[in-house]
Amino acid sequence: MDFLPIKRAILSVTDKSGLADFASFLTERGVELVSTGGTHKKLVAAGLKVTSVSDVTGFPEIMGGRVKTLHPRIHAGILADKDNPGHMLTLDELRIQSFDMVCVNLYNFADAAAKGVDLRAAVEEIDIGGPCMLRAAAKNFHSMLVVPDPSYYPRIQADLEANPGGVSLALRRELAAETFARVSAYDGMIAKYLASAPL
């Protein structure tokens, strides 16, 4: 689709700069917000209505947060091709709601590594669910908007204000390409660290 209406968004961010204002903008446009952990707390503190990921999945965050968004009710909602009737029928049959936006930025692994913590502690700062959601949304940019960094909030707001039908395909593709570049760089940084860090 050329223009994607934004009706439901999942937000899970490490960098919370500008988050409350961006989420408020979305809420004012009738967007349902779903969120995790610290992001959820930040949005609730800002007075916004937000659904927890656990309420969507019906499953608590476990293993100290290692497993929270890795669930079919999240990933099917992100990966469904809205132009594919079979995908939409599957969502309907399984009572899964689709998402339109994934707003995620990753754990700051570089900072953890720079602090000189031991290998086991550093490994805990490797984001798993975030890259999975980013890659899924970027792959499905024909049906999704992926937002990998707060610096894009103003452009997205401007695009939504300029296009009553939703976010343009051109911006969605641009952000998908940027997302894959960021995830690739993130993985490369981790690979370099693991190859040289003392056991």
CATH topology of domain 3-196: Rossmann fold (3.40.50)
Alpha helices in 9-71 (DSSP H): 19-28, 37-45, 53-57
- Residue 61 has a pLDDT of 83
- Residue 179 has a pLDDT of 98
- Residue 114 has a pLDDT of 80
pLDDT along the chain (199 residues), means of 10: 94 95 96 94 95 92 84 96 97 97 89 82 89 97 97 96 92 98 95 87
Domain ranges of the chain: 3-196
Q: Helix, strand, coil proportions of the chain in percent (round to 5)?
A: 55, 15, 35
Give this prediction's pTM: 0.93
